[in-house]
């Protein structure tokens, strides 16, 4: 019986995606925790959406990790949900700015994070489409 080494199932782009997702788990998680615990009454919609973004990044990290091991279904769903969240929150933050007296992670398409929140699910979907290991297709 041959065992597949995890190093063989993971590519450079996969590791970069996992690293960026881990950073966003920490950044969005810490930001939302501070916002909710200290100033929730100032911008409840924005701060609640920051919590949702943090939870999405946690799920995204697990999804990308499982996709590298052959389970791409969850990753496809999570990345599309994440992209939809960034687009919806990005549009709402521009159209109804009164809901966002303070930014959430996805406000204005993630401008506060250099638009990485908008690019991350797109890059993940591209990786799934083009760069996954052969066993994950």
Per-residue pLDDT of the chain (137 residues; tens, 9 = 90+): 444 444 435 668 889 999 999 999 999 999 999 999 999 999 899 899 989 999 999 999 999 998 888 788 899 999 999 999 999 999 999 999 998 888 888 999 999 999 999 999 999 999 888 754 455 44
Domain assignment present for residue 21? The answer is yes
In a domain, residue 108? The reply is yes
Could you tell me the residue range of the domain that residue 117 belongs to? Answer: 12-131
- The answer as to whether 74 is a domain residue is yes
User: What is the pLDDT at residue 60?
Assistant: 93
Q: Confirm whether 39 is domain-assigned.
A: yes
Q: What is the DSSP letter of 108?
A: G
- pTM across the whole model: 0.82
pLDDT of residue 136: 45
In a domain, 1, yes or no: no
* Residue 88: inside a domain: yes
What pLDDT was estimated at residue 10?
A: 60
| 100 located within any domain | yes
**Per-residue burial over 14-37, b = 16 or more CB atoms within 10 Å of its CB, e = otherwise:** beebbebbeebbebbbebbeebee
How many structural domains are present in the chain? Answer: 1
C-alpha dihedral, 68 to 73 to 89 to 29, nearest 10°: -50
For residue 13, the model assigns a pLDDT of 84
Taking alpha carbons only, the member of 68, 67, 58, 49 closest to residue 21 is 58
């Amino acid at each position: 019986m041959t065992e597949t080494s995890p190093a063989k199932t993971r590519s450079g782009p996969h590791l970069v995606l996992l690293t960026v997702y881990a950073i966003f788990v920490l950044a969005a998680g810490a930001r939302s925790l501070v916002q909710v615990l200290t100033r929730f009454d100032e911008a409840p919609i924005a701060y609640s959406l920051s919590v949702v973004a943090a939870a999405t990044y946690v799920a995204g990290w697990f999804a990308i990790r499982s996709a590298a091991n052959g389970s791409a279904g969850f990753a496809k769903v999570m990345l599309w949900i994440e992209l939809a969240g960034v687009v919806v929150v990005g549009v709402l933050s521009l159209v109804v700015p009164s809901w966002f007296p303070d930014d959430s992670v996805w406000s204005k398409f993630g401008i506060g994070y250099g638009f990485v929140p908008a690019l991350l699910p797109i890059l993940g979907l591209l990786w799934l489409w083009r760069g996954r290991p052969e066993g994950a297709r």
